[in-house]
Structure 1
Amino acid sequence: MFRPITTLTALFLCLPAAAFAAGGDISTPPRAPECKDGQVMDAATRTCVDAVDSRLDDGERLDAVRQYAYAGDLGAARAVLDAMNDQGADGVLTYRGFTARKGGDIGAAMGWYAAALVANPDNILARSYKGQGHVEAGEIVQARSELMEIRMRGGQGTWAEQSLRMAIETGRGNSY
């Protein structure tokens, strides 16, 4: 017997895709940084600690990177990236690209995005940011190619796809 999917069930089924869409990040802008000067919020103690503090895990650090990057504090974002345990993780490489692009170094950004995609070809957030870099460089054909890759890799309807599509339409990249 066929049963319609309830709204709650449909939402539950979409949550893993939403998390994947942003490389494990939520698909909304991050909140303002909870700490200052490159420090990271320790979830256990709810205090700001140095990014190299051994009590932190890379997930906490990556959350801080997103917060600093979105707030435009690229220096703090880079300092936290430097403290990450796994420097070859695709999320680290993606945000190195993001901070390079937002800092005006599109060439370096493209190198970081390429490295992130070697580490994880299905990283649709890196593909979205790479595509936005192409848009900013006036390379719309390459941006559309990344948009198609996002869709082929299951990213249709995700923030990563929508963000790149909007960048192509407006000619501008996004801040997160």
Structure 2
Amino acid sequence: MKMILMGLYFLFVLNVFADSVISKGEVYINGQKATKTSVVKLGDFIKTGKNSKVKFNIGKDAFLANADTKFSIEEKGGLKTLNVVTGGVLAVFGKGGSKHEVKTENMTAGIRGTGVYVEHIDGKSYFCTCYGETQLNTAKAHKSYEAKHHNMAWVLADGTIKPAKKLRDHNDDELRELEAMVGRIPPFDN
């Protein structure tokens, strides 16, 4: 009985942290249409089409991209970077291990064991620290954010940071789904 339980636990852990891709609509990884067997790796470039979404994990980090989004996740010198060219990405990052940052054309945010949503469109960025700590840096400003449950800002094309009043294009259920992919629950549910 003990061996069966150990085997089930091992399969559960492997399944929880198995890199997987769940997509709807037109999704491309490095220019190739995503299939049921596709896997996203560090360094890949992802593009979603109109009315499309993609959800995947890379180790302890999980991502959900909305329609009309172009982005990559790269690693250099122990720093993992979510680079959003256009569109919106919701991401949850595991604590410990690698350092993380999120970039758009006009901002960089340092991340620690955090859930964030970033959207870049028409030269400006919307950035939400859903929970955790972030350090938002632009050409004009440096701000620290801490959130237990959503702290939002707009970064204008010139780097000016302004508070955002409304939650945009992401929700708590999506955060729960992403955290579940990597065997966690969001801190706001603890």
Indicate whether the TM-score tops 0.5.
no
Higher relative contact order (CA 8 A, sep 6+): 1
The answer to which structure has the higher strand fraction is: 2
The answer to which structure has the higher helix fraction is: 1
Give the alignment's TM-score, normalised by structure 1: 0.31
